[in-house]
């Protein structure tokens, strides 16, 4: 699974599932950095830095900090979406 797939899907992933996918975690880390957040190293490990950066991203975009929804994936990828 990658962010583009999640952005096009209807399912929401709980962060516990995202943490288990190192490639997806790496992609989230890269996008957080591109958006000005500081998750720490791009290493595919969902540690405290990634959690803090994702929580700040979620709060700034009025998203739930414990899940990766299609809307969150779209925002991370800077894809325009309609509600």
Concatenating the DSSP letter of every residue in 25-56 gives HHHHHHHHHHTT----S-SS---HHHHHHHHH
For residue 34, pLDDT over 80 is answered with yes
Q: What is the pLDDT of residue 82?
A: 44
Q: What is the mean pLDDT of residues 26-51?
A: 96
pTM for the model: 0.91
Pairing of strands 67-68, 13-14: antiparallel
| Residues 6 or more apart in contact with residue 40 via CB below 8 angstroms | 29, 47, 48, 49, 50, 53
Q: What residue ranges define each of the domains in the chain, with the CATH number in brackets?
A: 3-77 (1.10.101.10)
41-81 confidence digits (pLDDT tens): 999 999 999 999 999 999 999 999 999 999 999 999 987 54
Averaged pLDDT score across all residues of the chain:
93
For residue 1, pLDDT over 70 is answered with yes
Q: What is the pLDDT of residue 52?
A: 97
């Amino acid at each position: 699974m990658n962010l583009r797939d999640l952005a096009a899907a209807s399912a929401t992933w709980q962060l516990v599932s995202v943490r288990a996918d190192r490639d997806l975690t790496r992609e989230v880390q890269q996008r957080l950095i591109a958006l000005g957040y500081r998750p720490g190293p791009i290493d595919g490990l969902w540690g405290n830095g990634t959690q803090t950066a994702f929580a700040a991203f979620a709060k700034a975009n009025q998203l739930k900090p414990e899940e990766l929804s299609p809307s969150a994936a779209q925002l991370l990828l800077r894809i325009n979406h309609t509600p």
